[in-house]
Amino acid sequence: MATTPQPTERRADALSKARIVEAAIALLDAGGESALTFRALAGRLATGSGAIYHHVADKNDLLAAASDSIIARIVGEAGATPREAIRAIAAGVFDAIDDHPWVGAQLHREPWRPAMLQIFEGVGSQLQALGVPEPAQFDAAAVLVNYILGVAVQNAANARMQPPDADRTALLAAVAARWTQHDPAEYPFVHKVAAQLPEHDDREQFLAGIDLILVGISGLGR
Amino acid sequence: MATTPQPTERRADALSKARIVEAAIALLDAGGESALTFRALAGRLATGSGAIYHHVADKNDLLAAASDSIIARIVGEAGATPREAIRAIAAGVFDAIDDHPWVGAQLHREPWRPAMLQIFEGVGSQLQALGVPEPAQFDAAAVLVNYILGVAVQNAANARMQPPDADRTALLAAVAARWTQHDPAEYPFVHKVAAQLPEHDDREQFLAGIDLILVGISGLGR
DNA sequence: ACCTGAACACCGTTCAAGT
DNA sequence: ACCTGAACACCGTTCAAGT
């Protein structure tokens, strides 16, 4: 009775949005999007499924918050030049999807979410530093962000088709094998590229695409 | 007894994959992705939900087949020049997503499906005609396809946030309003662009992006 | 061979009841 | 205020039974 507990004190294991998001990320990383259920989450947090709704609005809110949390870790990657800074942002998103494929499917929904805003702001501010004229900056940023997120979605879809431990070459070889099953007369270009698919480095190809777009952007202001 | 029915004759309303896909597209166009359920589909086709499984493997197969059906309609759009042909393919995909937003979320999964192959083949063959050197064709096609599909996913996500009859300007104004709710000091570029968002023509911007990437591609072979 | 539709094994979400 | 967990209103998918 000498010591009364401080009323603002909370149990160390009290629920919070941060703890819920952390547990959700663990489930998503371990088993993909289908592994995140409110029952599994409640089990991992040792609570009832209804308790989660006191901290997140619904499953969509939970997925978006988890995605924001992953992307927030990769911002602020500086570079010596604007071009290098844009490359660093792009590579950061690419690698984040590599580690957390389920994020790729979340980046587009609700474009006012921190994940989208941070990527757009990061790219756009570097375009200003690059000297892209004001009227062209919006178009230029839109091209880069749409390309970066498009590749993110593709990588997320690829990861969903394979067991989590499958390597990149095996996945690409499987896609190439499917491509060559079609009629070569109908898809000659697809057949030609299928041979290059398994051994190509898709991270390198992605960054080569960033460079190519930056070349096109540098021609905007002439 | 004079006339015996031909054994190969089928009832006019017999189930087939084509009829099922047609009904699925109607449900998806009317109510979005959540409107496509096997119960609703069975109701529209006046059959049992189990009967559908005699013609499609599962819901994923059905969504992919519906998406292939939409994209198949837009191929073969010729152009006077390779550059115009690539623009026509890109605009065709853009307009198809505008009419059928749910397609945008389907294009990336299973990249050996006709939808992906047709877009990739259409773009790639025009790059050959454009004179892009052989070693650079794969990279160049990948940039264009990833950009086209990235925008498609974004438009699909935007459509999902709004009632089906909402117009584009209202949607963009709503996004801009959300963007300006954030701290201008943290997101200066986002704030600047938010002012241009509602009145900008996103179809024009998309095609400007195609042109910009083609400029970058033309620099590949030097 | 194709169809029927009830049954099964799940979901997200709600809410009366507890602390 | 926060938590509990049964209950509700759905899903996709299966499968014995029909034609």
Q: SS in 3 state form for B103-119? A: HHHCCCCCCCCHHHHHH
**Distant-in-sequence, close-in-space partners of A198: CB < 8 Å, separation ≥ 6:** A169, A172, A173, A176
Residue B10: the pLDDT is: 40
With CA atoms as reference, the chain A residue closest to B138 would be A193
Q: Which nucleotide's C1' is closest to A38 (Cα)? A: C12
Interface test with A, best of B189, B204, B205 (most A CBs within 10 A): B189
Least confident of A72-81, A125-134, A207-216, B121-130: A72-81
The rounded distance, in Å, linking the Cα atoms of A57 and A61 is 6
Cβ–Cβ gap A138/B196 under 8 Å: yes
Average pLDDT of chain A is 91
Minimal Cα–Cα distance from A98 to chain B, Å?
A: 16
Which stretches of chain B are DSSP H helices?
Answer: 17-31, 38-45, 59-72, 82-99, 114-130, 134-160, 168-179, 188-194, 202-218
The rounded distance, in Å, linking the Cα atoms of A56 and A33 is 17
A46: left (phi over 0), alpha (psi -120 to 50) or beta: left
The rounded distance, in Å, linking the Cα atoms of A68 and A18 is 12
Cβ contacts of B143 on chain A, cutoff 8 Å = 147, 209, 212-213
Cβ contacts of A183 on chain B, cutoff 8 Å = none
Residue B222: the pLDDT is: 57
Q: Which residue is nearest to nucleotide D1 (CA to C1')?
A: A54
Least confident of A66-80, A91-105, A196-210, B54-68: A66-80
Alpha-carbon distance values, B147 to A14, A65, A216, B119 (Å): 44, 26, 14, 12
pLDDT tens digits, one per residue of B180-199: 999 999 999 999 999 999 99
Q: Which residue is nearest to nucleotide C11 (CA to C1')?
A: A37
Q: Is the CB of B49 within 7 Å of strand D?
A: yes
pTM for this model (two decimals): 0.93
Average pLDDT on A57-83 reads 91
Task: Please determine, for residue B72, whether its predicted confidence score (pLDDT) is greater than 70.
Answer: yes
Cβ–Cβ gap B213/A212 under 8 Å: yes
Residue B167: the pLDDT is: 83
Average pLDDT of chain B is 91
The rounded distance, in Å, linking the Cα atoms of A140 and B14 is 52
Closest CB from B110, B125, B150 relative to A150:
B150
Positions of chain C reached by protein Cβ under 7 A? 2-7, 10-16
pLDDT tens digits, one per residue of A87-117: 999 999 999 999 999 999 999 999 999 999 9
Task: Please determine, for residue B126, whether its predicted confidence score (pLDDT) is greater than 90.
Answer: yes
CA torsion B3→B7→B12→B17, rounded to 10°?
180
Q: Is the CB of A55 within 7 Å of strand D?
A: yes
Minimal Cα–Cα distance from A35 to chain B, Å?
A: 18
The rounded distance, in Å, linking the Cα atoms of A169 and A176 is 10
